[in-house]
């Protein structure tokens, strides 16, 4: 199993919720995870795709559409709980600088910014905690998942410090083959994710959305991304809620028989796992 980041990262916490006995390996970048998944057909990876307040993680989208052998097998939602941690002996009064991933810094700036602390972006949250433990910089705090403090021998001065108590991140479980543990959401919501290109003419997107409506498909998300090789034209991504077996059949009908798309790829039909 692979995730992006270091031990103590949010991605690791999410993957261990569903595979508590598995051997999870952190890698340096999203691309590294995709490379590992392409090289090991039986491996699974968990990657973030959207934060409730900061939006979509487009790097993951782009890498997935460029990886034709990978499929989305499940969606999981992980609460974002941020903690301020320091080397033992430091206090709130001695802090001058906070280190973390830029997203974590943005998601907690209501806590640290009024205190006049300097923000120091790092590659990931858990990595900022590990580096602080290793270098023991005076006057520096890290912002990370509370488990990182336990792993790296740091002291938590404040938690939770995120700006929004209901902050969450969506993750996709990706693999070339079905995961080793069947993920069952007890008959709950199923989703599908579809990427497609359409002709750059008035009304073409409206025709697609009308087809979804006429087949009873519940559109839950739509976004556009630059279309490779055609400057200032766009590829669309949609999430569709599938509330019955009939909806799955309707989706496959739209995709295969409608003639609406110049290109399309159904990236997965998958369960949405309940959050903690």
Nearest residue to 195 via CA among 53, 32, 46, 67: 67
Surface-to-core class of residue 209, CB atoms within 10 Å of its CB (0-12 exposed, 13-18 middle, 19+ buried) = middle
Tokens of 102: 């830029």
Q: Within 10 A of 77 (CB to CB), how many other CB atoms are there?
A: 16
**Cβ(231)–Cβ(248) below 8 Å:** no
Which has the closest alpha carbon to 98: 69, 71, 132, 70?
Answer: 132
- Catalytic pick among 71, 125, 169, 193: 169
Q: How far apart are CA 23 and CA 40, in angstroms?
A: 14
How, if at all, do strands 168-175 and 44-51 pair?
antiparallel
What's the Cα-to-Cα distance from 206 to each of 41, 210, 213, 260, rounded to whole Å?
A: 38, 6, 10, 10
> Of 2, 10, 30, 171, which is the active-site residue?
171
Is 236 part of the annotated catalytic residue set? no
Q: Is 155 a catalytic residue?
A: no
Please give the positions annotated as active site.
Answer: 169, 171
């Amino acid at each position: 199993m692979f995730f992006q980041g270091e031990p103590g990262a949010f991605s690791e916490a999410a993957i261990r919720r569903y595979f508590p006995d598995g051997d999870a390996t952190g890698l340096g970048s999203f691309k590294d995870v995709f490379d590992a998944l392409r090289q090991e057909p039986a491996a699974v990876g968990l990657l973030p795709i959207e934060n409730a307040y900061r939006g979509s993680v487009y790097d993951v989208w782009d890498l997935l559409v460029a990886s034709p052998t990978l499929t989305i097998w499940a969606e999981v939602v992980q609460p974002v709980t941020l903690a301020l941690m320091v080397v033992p002996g430091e206090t709130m009064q001695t802090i001058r600088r906070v280190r973390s991933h830029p997203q974590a810094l943005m998601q907690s700036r209501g806590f640290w910014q009024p205190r006049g602390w300097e923000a120091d972006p790092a590659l990931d949250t858990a990595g900022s905690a590990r580096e602080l433990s290793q270098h023991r910089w005076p006057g520096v705090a890290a912002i990370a998942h509370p488990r990182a403090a336990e792993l790296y021998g740091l002291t938590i001065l404040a938690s939770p410090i995120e700006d929004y108590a209901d902050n969450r991140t969506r993750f996709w479980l990706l693999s070339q083959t079905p995961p080793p543990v069947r993920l069952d959401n007890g008959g709950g919501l199923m989703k599908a994710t579809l990427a497609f290109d359409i002709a750059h003419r008035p009304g073409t997107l409206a025709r697609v959305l009308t087809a979804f409506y006429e087949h009873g498909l519940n559109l839950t998300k739509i976004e556009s991304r630059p279309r490779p090789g055609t400057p200032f034209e766009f590829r669309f991504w949609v999430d569709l809620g599938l509330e019955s077996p009939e909806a799955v059949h309707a989706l496959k009908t739209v995709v295969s028989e409608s003639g609406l798309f110049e290109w399309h790829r159904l990236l997965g039909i998958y369960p949405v796992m309940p959050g903690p």
